[in-house]
Structure 1
């Protein structure tokens, strides 16, 4: 392949990955994280970027190693567990959390700042009616708008960030409002769920690469690594700037500030009413394109696992109706619901992503099962420890201060599984 074309493809695909990962929801968490962390904003940013961009990149590579097949990634833990865990991941980026958040974000960041308080139910009904219509009958207009919006959003954010760095709104507070800054960054990084997005659209990514002539698995992985580095650098710069901007208003706002409104207030302070209007419009349209893309991916997955017993159209309809109802809880309400769900679902998913890099060498499926089982057990106990004092020992496990107390138990579970005879298979029954 021509070297010049190869370099061009790396940058083209890198920007495509950036656009895929960077949704309007990613604007919400870094500025608020900056407010909470104050002078320790860089530590918080590092945790956030690792859990968001870092894990998303690992997931992209893992799904490439599994030939773009979701069930090949999850299948080694058994057919039923694979369906349950993959379904949980897809539902998180589907009607349960991320899709509703696009509607709630549109209301809080796009509608309220421009027209004031209106009933949220009216906004989300219109929003998801448009999502349904444009997902069932896809239009090239959406692709054009999506391709146009990402550069506009990046340019707008770059102007806001540069302005905020050159002329900070205020001093950075020395009062840190949270105990473990890095761990909070990790947890907020989970909230973006870009790792799950990578899994959901893995098949599309692989098809795009093959259409560009990258048919060999090694070629595909190399391309994804190089393109992923470009995407992660871009995300890191944006996240770093947004977290810093949040830190510059840490003496103005506290923990009780509405998360979704922080970047709106910052933009208004830096660029006036015009900047606020541009941001609101760009975010609203970006939310719509994100909602359409994720609704389509969810419907495809549901059709696949039910062998088309629930067809694409009905799946889209159910997703839109459920998401509209969930969106009425608002961004903060959805974040509260997401925290315990993600605390349980993320660890076993990360385990499977890491094991995908060694799938050709690991022959015993019980290694997968043991590692996943132990990670889930520790995650459930960690969640329960907030209510039951007798379970606080889980917070003393290695890597607990960084939010990874499940890692060592997962390794132990995998080792135990190695010594339990099992079916040696690289074939995924769940995909059949």
Structure 2
């Protein structure tokens, strides 16, 4: 391997990356899709993996090519770039992502075993552990990549092997959505995991971890990022396949389950009995903890690099807000933050695409501002549709006339057109400027 990074350090960073992404949502989402897809699980999972795993992996590779995550918005006006990053870290951090992880850890990891409401006590303890781990960012790879993730993987392997060796049922006929367009619906569901935006946020942690191991030369950072993305993709893909299989074979025990969390709980109980609930609780709490630590670290790294804010102070503020919001008004916060996340996700992906085009050829000038504006405009239509706020007649017209609108990705084609047009225009303009002037 032509890299200055030791194999064991590379593996540790790859494991850390997998753990950062593996939140409770990643565990409970595929079982629900698997139950609905039934016998069409494989085509549905093919589409799902493209957007749920391929998109974040592509983002990590691009971030490695531009060497620092901050370069993602370097071509934007300074104020606009800072607005983007602040909104992103607020949304995936204390306003939405972290409180949700804390409450899910409590609901699935603690509540089934206790009587009464102990959310406040659990939140204080959970956030305290998060803060303790986040306070030592230099040890993040050791804590998560070398200790927590292997333990998490072992627990997931135990569940997966048991499900394969002793399935509780057989895949049933697919639901209406997955009968004739399983791949398409898989693509949509994978995109809706929003891991594309999480990859942009976690980029701060991953690149910092690579640099901390002595790899700072741009070509080496880019090379290592490819290996890290590959490790993440293999592990996350295997996890999704296993959880999807659990859902597909759960019809006999979880036919009436309301969500993936219930499916997983019933399935684990059916295989392992009472001890299965303890295993599932450990998996969920561990997955949520790695996510909150990673998000805290990413937020603190950004504010330290961009505003010279002390790392410890930012970590305390982020975790304290998370602790408060997890106990009071999370439902309202989700209502407020969800539209922002639905808008930020396509914008983040569009900026990644623009940065990638810029790395292909120095003469390409994809114009990040125009890409952002176009994506924001069409992404707003997608957000309104997802939130069921689009007027009925207008919604029908858009479904018939706007490409990918039904897939909640109407921004993609206009974004690609703008990228292509701007890049070609920049090349033509530079060629004209280089032509000799005739006498």
| TM-score, normalised relative to structure 1 | 0.82
Among candidates 378, 398, 401, match of residue 403 of structure 2? 398
Summarize the Cα distance change of 1:208–1:120 in structure 2 as closer, same or farther, 3 Å threshold. Answer: closer
The number of aligned residues is 420
Among candidates 371, 377, 388, match of residue 391 of structure 2? 388
Q: Is 1:26 equivalent to 2:29 in the alignment?
A: no
Q: Which residue of 2 is the match for residue 153 of structure 1?
A: 152
Task: Tell whether the 8 Å contact from 2:354 to 2:367 is kept in structure 1 after alignment.
Answer: no
Summarize the Cα distance change of 1:114–1:209 in structure 2 as closer, same or farther, 3 Å threshold. Answer: same
Q: Is 1:97 equivalent to 2:96 in the alignment?
A: yes
Summarize the Cα distance change of 1:6–1:323 in structure 2 as closer, same or farther, 3 Å threshold. Answer: closer
SS at match of 2:367: helix
SS at match of 1:243: helix
Moved more, 235-244 or 363-372: 363-372
Task: Tell whether the 8 Å contact from 1:108 to 1:260 is kept in structure 2 after alignment.
Answer: no
SS at match of 2:93: helix
Gaps of 5+ in 1: 425-432
Q: Which residue of 2 is the match for residue 413 of structure 1?
A: 418
RMSD (Å) for aligned C-alpha atoms: 3.6
Summarize the Cα distance change of 1:64–1:419 in structure 2 as closer, same or farther, 3 Å threshold. Answer: closer
| 1:240 shift after superposition | 0.6
Q: Which residue of 2 is the match for residue 198 of structure 1?
A: 199
Summarize the Cα distance change of 1:144–1:367 in structure 2 as closer, same or farther, 3 Å threshold. Answer: closer
| 1:36 shift after superposition | 3.2
SS at match of 2:110: helix
Summarize the Cα distance change of 1:228–1:292 in structure 2 as closer, same or farther, 3 Å threshold. Answer: closer
Q: Which residue of 2 is the match for residue 76 of structure 1?
A: 75
1:306-358 deviation line (CA, Å, top 9, x unaligned): 343xx444433332233234334899988777654433211121111122222
Q: Which residue of 2 is the match for residue 429 of structure 1?
A: none
Q: Which residue of 1 is the match for residue 376 of structure 2?
A: 376
Q: Which residue of 1 is the match for residue 168 of structure 2?
A: 169
SS at match of 1:96: coil
| 1:243 shift after superposition | 0.8
| 1:232 shift after superposition | 0.9
Q: How is 1:252-267 mapped onto 2 (pairs within 5 angstroms)?
A: 252-253=253-254, 257-267=258-268
| 1:233 shift after superposition | 1.6
Summarize the Cα distance change of 1:419–1:160 in structure 2 as closer, same or farther, 3 Å threshold. Answer: closer
Q: Which residue of 2 is the match for residue 17 of structure 1?
A: 17
CA distance in 1, matches of 2:258, 2:367: 45
Gaps of 5+ in 2: 430-439
CA distance in 1, matches of 2:18, 2:211: 19
Summarize the Cα distance change of 1:227–1:364 in structure 2 as closer, same or farther, 3 Å threshold. Answer: closer
| 1:262 shift after superposition | 2.8
CA distance in 2, matches of 1:357, 1:142: 27
Q: Is 1:229 equivalent to 2:230 in the alignment?
A: yes
| 1:166 shift after superposition | 2.5
| 1:30 shift after superposition | 1.2
1:370-412 deviation line (CA, Å, top 9, x unaligned): 2222121111123334431314443343344544322111123
Q: Which residue of 2 is the match for residue 35 of structure 1?
A: 35
Summarize the Cα distance change of 1:263–1:13 in structure 2 as closer, same or farther, 3 Å threshold. Answer: same
CA distance in 1, matches of 2:84, 2:54: 21
1:199-229 deviation line (CA, Å, top 9, x unaligned): 3343443344345454432333233223322
